[in-house]
Structure 1
């Protein structure tokens, strides 16, 4: 092979003839260093020397990207590898792998909490309910959207409790950062911050289990410190509940509401003991009038069936069915197609009834409390409400069919309406059977 001393001018003038597939020139300064050109491709530095009876050709890089001195130095490194019995091709592959790992580590170190949070939600979504997923979105939301209510006069929504953490690098989330966040959030919204902390703690645990992110989080979950827990405090037990003697006033006020959908909704909350969103999400296909049952979307078990009691059935039958709207408690103006916030209706009714502090969830608590007057079996009440069984016998040995639940549930409804002074016809056989079974 003829060898020439590489210069910038000579390399710039070198080109592959059009009638050849490739052409080479070789450097006189470093043995094995050459330049390869093709009719279409840009010239590249190569290194070619004998190793273990073969002459492997290794590309160094484009002439446009490498200076002559750097190409010569890389060729000398490859020659040293051969002299030490190392295959320069393997050495090159190892270096490329190391470079890739280094770049990946550098990129991972720049990942923000918000970027990984989105991946976390995407990964966990198949295992979560809609409400749980929506909670995570809401907690990290940026705010600033126009709103007509719930903004305390600001006119725009405020950022979620976790939003301030989303811009941080994952590597910068330390115990002191989370403690400072907790201290700030505790001043204005401790309840939301406690939920946010639980979600964020689970997120960091997930990160620690992922190969891509475990090197970016602290060895000990920074959201689990004592100071963080103390800053947010403990949630106080809620005790808002309807008393037996308040039923008449409450029902009178609720049944007098100008919105019949809201009126029916609030009554159904009390008479079924279901969760607020479980009733809101009820669709017409969940109402089985033939077998007198309701299918409730349950956050614990996925779904459960409860009896469609007579008064609840009458309330549902009185509601209008909007075309192409699947929801029982539909709203033509609401974004989701159904009533979204029952608190205003609840507060208006309670103001008329002169009952203070009662919330929509308090109606679920009231259902459980009022059943004590009838000495309904605790397992029956738990099954209707969608609570997990608390005893071994309940978990593994007691199976109650819907008809058995119906006997007790209709008895509960009849008694509540009786206390409220509402006249309604019930199946007397069901009440007699309930007395016998109890």
Structure 2
């Protein structure tokens, strides 16, 4: 039905049990849509050359939008369509160009396969350091703001300042490839975080080099035994966790989320399903490690090795208990110190690089062809694992032999030819 739009004509249109559309006789393509609810909306409904379906563009509701304004809007829309511009697509692009940091972050985490610990770290960055930027369109985040925020955070923690900016850089890189215009080209072409590289303002915090020394291992283990004998089940579980971290070099979340279904005491092996790099890991159970697993087995009655009475069923954050261990043993350490101690011990024993990488579940570079052919099972890792454990418990055997050899050579170098001859004859 076609009518000349007037207030009287539109007001006279009555709602029925289905949607009806009435065209304006003055502007070709302008119509008013009447819904069963009685709501009346102006639309442009026009077939475009080269398109199968007509383009429908909402202009607004009557009477909030007057007939005169509806006709003006319709002419503007029809002009765009005549020039090959779809206002609906244009509106979506404009909306994307105004997307906020929080919206980008939500899209990012929904599409990336992040570990629980990574996600927790990213959430903390957004909540702690970027909370006031969440509602800000990312197009409005400038290089100056980046530099100022990084400098401000650096005053408290250089490492956290860099971490924050790495997360922000990742979000901008994600936005560059995720949000495109009608020509399938990026809306966001530039990453403002790159200014830190240009100005060489990254803090580049050096990796920590701390570890537990040989002389500290026995006192630590003795201290753990003492604390275990005086504590509740939660603290005993943390003591076992610390000890197992030392003898495996595994990460916190990899151990704490360990389930009994992945442990075989009969086969003396266990399987880590959730790892930082996403690659599952099967490891052997060495002698001392077996005693820890048996101790844990006697203490648990659910599916987790490090059971805890909480909504998750296992220990999530042992910081307070570790602080107690440090205080009572007098040995200062972090969980990464335990991992470094395990790795350093393996290196001193001359365990192969690829074996160490497999034990620690480190990924090798894609261009490392040799790594692609090096496949080590739990059984093949058993001997080096046992050697590392023995060395941690008793000191490296190779070092003792080497030292003895050095001592003999030094003794011989100080003897006269006559003394050497007499020594040979004594045999």
Question: What's the TM-score, normalizing by structure 1?
Answer: 0.69
Shift of 1:416: 1.9
Confirm or deny that 1:223 pairs with 2:198: no
- CA distance in structure 2 between the partners assigned to 1:417 and 1:244 by the alignment: 9
Confirm or deny that 1:177 pairs with 2:145: yes
More helix, by proportion: 2
The unaligned stretches of length 5 or more in structure 2 are: 45-55, 397-427
| 1:277-325 CA distance string (max 9 Å, x none) | 21112111121122211112322252111111122121122125544x4
Name the residue aligned to 2:413: none
Name the residue aligned to 2:122: 136
Shift of 1:246: 1.7
CA contact (8 A) 1:261 1:330 kept: yes
Confirm or deny that 1:310 pairs with 2:287: yes
Report the secondary structure of 1:225's partner residue.
helix
Shift of 1:32: 9.5
- CA distance in structure 1 between the partners assigned to 2:303 and 2:261 by the alignment: 8
Larger CA deviation: 338-347 vs 267-276: 338-347
Which residue among 245, 251, 272 is the counterpart of 2:215?
245
Change over 3 Å in CA distance of 1:374–1:15 after alignment to 2:
closer
**CA RMSD between the two structures:** 4.4
- CA distance in structure 2 between the partners assigned to 1:312 and 1:397 by the alignment: 29
- CA distance in structure 2 between the partners assigned to 1:251 and 1:377 by the alignment: 27
| 1:126-165 CA distance string (max 9 Å, x none) | x333322332222213xxxxxxxxxxxxxxxxxx223232
Aligned length: 364
- CA distance in structure 1 between the partners assigned to 2:43 and 2:378 by the alignment: 80
The unaligned stretches of length 5 or more in structure 1 are: 48-57, 79-88, 142-159, 421-438
- CA distance in structure 1 between the partners assigned to 2:341 and 2:30 by the alignment: 87
Which residue among 213, 235, 243 is the counterpart of 2:205?
235
Shift of 1:396: 3.1
CA contact (8 A) 1:114 1:167 kept: yes
Which residue among 157, 160, 172 is the counterpart of 1:192?
160
Confirm or deny that 1:414 pairs with 2:393: no
Change over 3 Å in CA distance of 1:295–1:96 after alignment to 2:
same
| 1:366-403 CA distance string (max 9 Å, x none) | 01112344333333222111123479474033333322
Shift of 1:329: 0.9
Question: What's the TM-score, normalizing by structure 2?
Answer: 0.70
Confirm or deny that 1:113 pairs with 2:88: no
Name the residue aligned to 1:154: none
Name the residue aligned to 1:150: none
Report the secondary structure of 2:192's partner residue.
coil
Which residue among 205, 208, 224 is the counterpart of 2:176?
208
- CA distance in structure 1 between the partners assigned to 2:64 and 2:265 by the alignment: 77
Report the secondary structure of 2:280's partner residue.
strand
